[in-house]
Structure 1
Amino acid sequence: MLLTDILLIFLVTLICVYFFILNSRYLYFKQRGIPSPPHNFFFGHYKSIWSSPLLTHQFQQWTQQFGSIYGLFEGTRPLYVVSDVEFLQEVFIKQFSSFHSRRLPFILQKSAGNKVHLLSANGEKWHRQRHIINPAFTSGKLKLMTSKVHECVDSLVNKLAEHCDQQFNIYLLYKRLTMDVICRCAFGVITDMQNDIENEYFIKAERCVAEDLEKNLLIRLGHLMPWLIPFLTYIMIGQILFKRLMHKFIPSIEEMPRFWLIERLRYLADIRISSSEKSETKHQTDLLQLMLDATTRDQVKDNMAKRLHFDEVITNIYLFMIAGYETTSTALAYSTYILAKEPLIQQKLQREIDQCPESDNEYDRVHNMTYLDWFVREVLRMFPIAPQAMSRECNTTTVVCGHSVELGSVIQPDMLTIHYDPDLWGPEDPKIFLPERHSVPRHPMAFMPFGLGPRSCIGKRFALMEMKMCLVRLLRHYSIYPGDHMEEKFKLKDTLLILQPENVYVEIKKRSL
């Protein structure tokens, strides 16, 4: 027998074994008695996932058909889609140590050394970062930032005066507001994006958010053939380095937005450190300074649990910038959409705001408005901002509510089903916008727009403060009405993590006070 024949037989055998192993993976849910929609060989359920215009709605449809716990395959990787709150309570809280990782595109998980931020960090690295950064979001620290938020909202209110009695897309103004807030409160740069429409921070951040890694061909190939990920990682890193090198030698080629922002943040941090070394007094009260106060440029080791590496500061400030401006502006957009549709609720809010006199302690004032709090909660119940960001990856094989969950499997909450479950949110119809439903205690897992458990959103209190301060000022001065084509242009769309409307066209009128 010729050597070529032997090699051919070996190759055919190898392929057969590969396909046998691949096919056996699709028995995962059947062996566990968990229902699953029909899948495609090799692709699993990715063809349906990739072709779905709104994946969150597709999850809802499958839940109605297959129940509160069902299985999907990302290639061959098992994905549990769950709306059973007892199961999720085990995953997010009681067995958090077995589910402390997020499901992210592989290139985000491959960040090396100290360039890992809270979203992509896992295990001890995540725990150390979270422990150090948490104090930056206490109520005391947030109160120190209210004046900066107030100034940004002032700029928005002044800009809205130009749009009175006109129909316009208020979502764009909210994006500019929240980017102003992030620039001032995160790293102390004073901007006025309501008027400076060509601001580079805003343009670069918009381009970063617009990049959907899940549509990248190499990312998709990695999902289908995980054993290729080391090789694909080298290719993607090579592409990035080539683009950066081209920009370096040919400046007319634009720098990649992510790296433009990171380098700018690094420059600002270096200036801050240099200034603080020359003066013992620190004049800034922002997230950057709070993190720099607990920073080292040495290699971070286990025995330095109270220190962040300088690179970790930069990547986390970048994360807060991108995530903070997009999520909060989207929540404000949804809030305005509801206010335009529900005039009676708007009037209730305005009465509460009018009865609460303005004071210097703006943080406590907005947080003591009960109906406003119910309203914001109801907005986030009906329109959860980041439903796909709540996934958890299993870090060790375990049993959850009688179900054996294998290492590497992913748990994806079906947040829309949970937030619209009549057993959790009745007796009133959950499809009706009713802020008063939040006056009654609910199951601890029934409301999860910011996630739950140790890995819930660290910026939750900051986002709620910003939202409430904006809504109070807006409704104190204006009333909101639906634009002629508000519903038509509202259309929802999925990005990598955010579920957002395309536009929110409204009309505002000055109130007579």
Structure 2
Amino acid sequence: MLLFLLQIKYFLFQMALIILTSIFIAILTFSLCIIYRRQEIFKIRSKIGLKGPETHWFWGNLKLVIKRIAANGYNDSPTWHQELHREYGETFGLYFGTEFDIIISNEEDIKEVFIKNFSNFSDRLTPQIFEMNNLNSSLLQNTYATGWKSTRTAIAPIFAAGKIKAMHETVSSKIDTFLKILKEKSKNSEEKFDIYEDFQRLSLDIIGKCAFAIDSNCQRDETDVFYVQARKFVSSVDIRKSWILIASFMLPELSWIWKALYRFTDLAAAEIPLINGLSDIYERRLAGEGYDSVDLLKLLLDRGMSKKEVTENCFAFLIAGYETSSTAMVYGAYLLAKYPDVQRKLYEEIKKMKTSDLSYESIHQMKYLDAFYKETLRYYPPVIHFNAKVCKSDITIRNQFYPKGCVVKAQPYTIHRLSSNWERPEEFDPNRFLFSEESSSKLRWIPFGIGPRYCIGMRFAEMEFKTTMVKLVEKFELGIREGEDRDLIPECVGVILRPKGPVRLELKLR
């Protein structure tokens, strides 16, 4: 009996040893494969004749990004990209982990890649972990193969000029609420408030009404579910706050693990209440509520889209429109405060144009307002890392080879500040859009993207920005508060270029 037990123990020991050895060999083989794969990927840049910063054997160039963030205390990737452009030229390569990015800034290259060869660069880059979110059926993430074109065709009518004009009165009423809140806050000269948060609540309130026909109280209620969760979702798309985002870029070979863990992330935690809220609105509208409303949700319902398609596209519009619009508007307000001459010229144009009420037509006839709008988005493009397209197959364009699987990017912040594109690019000057031909090229001004996948809500965002700025300047004289830094520092959070700190302005009733 004792001998039998010893034999069993010996057998179990041998089995454990075999299992542990097998696991060790598997891990070692897997690690060697990863290292070999990286070595081969990191050779591609030099093979195709491109330059770029030195790559770490495991991190690629991501380690440089992390080191800069640690040194600066924030993500200054737009400034870094400018430095790289000056050092390596108009086309260079970067490795975000094993993702190989080719950065282009030449106007002809941009035209060839994003427009003329759109069929080979039709899909946006979507990190594998994001395949687990509720945006895969939306215009933000769906691919040409999964129905991007049909989705865009279905959504496009809501952004036709006539529909946007019909929404102007609604937008204007929401801005009036915004101005009342600012008036209340401005009465207390000692109160220092971040006007960026007020712009965020305004843009979310506008989206709620124009996209879903719901009257939100988010401008006055900071606990509003859509407002709280939208802020959480956007702030979570940041490598500084999510280890799993870095892990998914560094070890795409383990994507199945990262996908399984997505449900436990802050992104998922913020996403679920938003999707549940939109699902509830969908059911109410399907039952007949708001049947006479003209909005995005009704348009999608009338098109016969599935519940998944409707809720995901509404979610995309909520997230994309909320953050980009509010960021553009806070930059506009800040620039008006910093440059009194610009503010004075705009105010004079408003007084000259106004007869009784500033209508949709009159606002779009204001030339200086239009120049100010374009120069604001040139100087501070709110979205900076979204012009990224995956190369579907090997292709050579203007003597440059683009390998299958690479990601081609055009960075608006860099392109908007190239001296080859703009005179005095570091100066803020709306007059360049009034008196100069330098702004005539659409591929030098790309805050809304390039080619067929440009931002579908561009006209709506323009109307929202212009109406808000006009009503704000008509009501208040804006200035930089005493003791506040006059130089705003932009930082990159995900794909958004937003103010690094709070934006505290002085508001004087006119």
Q: TM-score, normalised by structure 2?
A: 0.87
* 1:260 counterpart residue number: 273
SS in 2 for 1:463: helix
* 1:298 counterpart residue number: none
* 2:11 counterpart residue number: none
* 1:437 counterpart residue number: 432
CA contact (8 A) 1:81 1:413 kept: yes
* 2:325 counterpart residue number: 328
Cα separation, 1, equivalents of 2:32 and 2:227: 52
Change in Cα spacing, 1:489 to 1:383, as seen in structure 2 (3 Å) is closer
Q: Does 1:227 align with 2:253?
A: yes
Residue number among 347, 350, 353 corresponding to 2:347 in the alignment: 350
How far the C-alpha of 1:359 sits from its partner, in A, is 5.5
Deviations 1:205-264 (A, max 9, x none): 111112125343333222223222134323334x47xx99xxxxxxxxxx9331111111
Change in Cα spacing, 1:463 to 1:163, as seen in structure 2 (3 Å) is same
Q: Which AA in structure 1 matches 2:113?
A: V
Change in Cα spacing, 1:90 to 1:503, as seen in structure 2 (3 Å) is same
SS in 2 for 1:408: coil
How far the C-alpha of 1:387 sits from its partner, in A, is 0.4
Change in Cα spacing, 1:85 to 1:115, as seen in structure 2 (3 Å) is closer
How far the C-alpha of 1:15 sits from its partner, in A, is 5.4
SS in 1 for 2:94: strand
- Provide runs of 4+ in structure 1 moved above 4 Å: 3-18, 358-361
Change in Cα spacing, 1:401 to 1:335, as seen in structure 2 (3 Å) is same
Q: Which AA in structure 1 matches 2:332?
A: S
How far the C-alpha of 1:400 sits from its partner, in A, is 2.1
Q: Does 1:200 align with 2:221?
A: no
Q: Does 1:92 align with 2:117?
A: no
| 1:310-329 to 2 correspondences below 5 Å | 310-329=307-326
Count of aligned positions: 477
* 2:292 counterpart residue number: 283
SS in 2 for 1:34: coil
Q: Which AA in structure 2 matches 1:438?
A: F
* 1:397 counterpart residue number: 394
| 1:119-198 to 2 correspondences below 5 Å | 119-124=140-145, 125-164=147-186, 166=189, 168-198=193-223
SS in 1 for 2:452: coil
| 1:410-421 to 2 correspondences below 5 Å | 410-421=407-418
SS in 1 for 2:79: helix
How far the C-alpha of 1:491 sits from its partner, in A, is 3.2
* 1:486 counterpart residue number: 484
Cα separation, 2, equivalents of 1:147 and 1:403: 50
| 1:38-117 to 2 correspondences below 5 Å | 38-52=54-68, 53-110=75-132, 116-117=137-138
Q: Which has the higher mean CA deviation after the structures are superposed, 490-499 or 353-362?
A: 353-362
Q: Which AA in structure 2 matches 1:197?
A: E
Change in Cα spacing, 1:77 to 1:205, as seen in structure 2 (3 Å) is closer
CA contact (8 A) 1:490 1:503 kept: no
How far the C-alpha of 1:171 sits from its partner, in A, is 1.3
How far the C-alpha of 1:10 sits from its partner, in A, is 8.9
Change in Cα spacing, 1:22 to 1:188, as seen in structure 2 (3 Å) is same
CA contact (8 A) 1:386 1:449 kept: yes
CA contact (8 A) 2:476 2:508 kept: yes
CA contact (8 A) 2:136 2:142 kept: no
CA contact (8 A) 2:396 2:402 kept: yes
- Aligned-residue CA RMSD (Å): 2.5
* 1:503 counterpart residue number: 502
Task: Extract unaligned runs of 5+ from structure 2.
Answer: 1-16, 69-74
Q: Which has the higher mean CA deviation after the structures are superposed, 317-326 or 204-213?
A: 204-213
Change in Cα spacing, 1:13 to 1:314, as seen in structure 2 (3 Å) is closer
* 1:460 counterpart residue number: 458
Change in Cα spacing, 1:97 to 1:360, as seen in structure 2 (3 Å) is farther
Change in Cα spacing, 1:105 to 1:18, as seen in structure 2 (3 Å) is closer
Task: Extract unaligned runs of 5+ from structure 1.
Answer: 245-254, 296-307
Q: Which AA in structure 2 matches 1:226?
A: P
Q: Which AA in structure 2 matches 1:386?
A: V
CA contact (8 A) 2:52 2:93 kept: yes
How far the C-alpha of 1:98 sits from its partner, in A, is 0.9
Q: Which AA in structure 2 matches 1:51?
A: K
Change in Cα spacing, 1:131 to 1:51, as seen in structure 2 (3 Å) is farther
Q: Which AA in structure 2 matches 1:204?
A: Q
Taking every aligned residue pair, what percent have the same amino acid on both sides?
29
Q: Which structure has the bigger radius of gyration? A: 2
Deviations 1:285-322 (A, max 9, x none): 21111211112xxxxxxxxxxxx222111111111111
Cα separation, 2, equivalents of 1:217 and 1:224: 11
Residue number among 122, 139, 142 corresponding to 1:118 in the alignment: 139
Change in Cα spacing, 1:198 to 1:363, as seen in structure 2 (3 Å) is same
SS in 2 for 1:268: helix
Cα separation, 1, equivalents of 2:476 and 2:497: 27
Cα separation, 2, equivalents of 1:493 and 1:13: 40
| 1:303-314 to 2 correspondences below 5 Å | 308-314=305-311
CA contact (8 A) 2:132 2:262 kept: no
Cα separation, 2, equivalents of 1:182 and 1:313: 15
Cα separation, 2, equivalents of 1:101 and 1:27: 25
Q: Which AA in structure 2 matches 1:181?
A: I
CA contact (8 A) 1:489 1:505 kept: no
Q: Which has the higher mean CA deviation after the structures are superposed, 221-230 or 260-269?
A: 221-230
* 1:305 counterpart residue number: none
Q: Which AA in structure 2 matches 1:509?
A: K
Cα separation, 2, equivalents of 1:40 and 1:401: 30
CA contact (8 A) 1:105 1:214 kept: no
* 1:212 counterpart residue number: 237
CA contact (8 A) 1:398 1:406 kept: yes
Change in Cα spacing, 1:25 to 1:346, as seen in structure 2 (3 Å) is same
SS in 1 for 2:385: helix
Q: TM-score, normalised by structure 1?
A: 0.87
